Amino acid sequence: MVNFQYKENYGLEDLLAIMALLRSEDGCPWDKVQTHQSIRRDLLEEAYETADAIDSGDTANLREELGDLLLQVVFHARIEQERGSFDFDDVCDGICKKLIHRHPHVFGKLELDTPEQVLATWDEVKRQEKDQRSSGEAMASVARAMPALWRAEKVQKKARKDGFDWPDWHGARDKLTEELGELDEAIAAGERVEEELGDVLAATVNLARLLKIDPEKALTGSTDRFVRRYERMEAMAAQNGQALSQLTLDRQEALWQQAKGEETT
């Protein structure tokens, strides 16, 4: 049993102390052997679960998920503290200094009146901090671990700042048609199919961006609709004593259209 003071309510310092105990020699056999790589996926999963809580509007769940996400930050910081690199206070110090530096209109004398001006200043200060001398360098710095659709969108937005963009969505729609044609040619030739399919996805993201649609949100909505309709198809097949897998493709398609129609009536 470790030496620990139980309380009615706990704060950040308690969380740091608990993590130190879990990682100690007498702590948890699982926690004390974890590395950045072994818990990398946990960090991503907790971030997505937090996003789900935001989308659902469930504040109780959001509070819990924010705690889980904070735990991951504390966990990674503790690993580095044990290595003598940095600790949680250094993490807090760094983000505080970043916020102060990137808000010269709040902590300095610069005057900015609109959210758009704030974002433009933020990006410019960020490029200066990272010594990014070109948009290409800024694009290369976009995290490759981001969801691919979001990463593509972010890179395209950086290109737009140099004027390398369609004036409106019509050009992006024509480009999507062009890329689909090149994909058809690649499939027929049996070569470069993955590359051309990637170009189709990038062109789709470009169109979504110019239509002011979040591509991740659009695809998530489409997947949700697919799941709902598929469950309805299974239910309709079961009413006739059949499994969906027993039906012909034509019959499955008929059920799909019926399920789809029910959503629009």
Domain span(s) for CATH 1.10.287.1080 in the chain: 12-87, 147-213
Mean pLDDT of the chain: 95
CATH 1.10.10.60 fits 12-87, yes or no: no
Res. 41: pLDDT tops 80: yes
Residues 119 and 185: beta-carbon distance below 8 Å? no
**pLDDT score for 265:** 64
Res. 88: pLDDT tops 70: yes
How far apart (Å, rounded) are the C-alpha atoms in residues 3 and 7?
A: 13
Placement of tokens 């499939």 in the chain:
187
Res. 133: pLDDT tops 90: no
Residues 153 and 205: beta-carbon distance below 8 Å? yes
Res. 203: pLDDT tops 80: yes
Res. 168: pLDDT tops 80: yes
Res. 258: pLDDT tops 90: yes
**pLDDT score for 123:** 86
How far apart (Å, rounded) are the C-alpha atoms in residues 15 and 73?
A: 11
Tens digits of per-residue pLDDT, 180-200?
999 999 999 999 999 999 999
Res. 1: pLDDT tops 90: no
147-213 has which fold? Helix Hairpins (1.10.287)
Res. 201: pLDDT tops 70: yes
**pLDDT score for 4:** 82
3-state secondary structure 33-72: HCCCCCCHHHHHHHHHHHHHHHHHCCHHHHHHHHHHHHHH
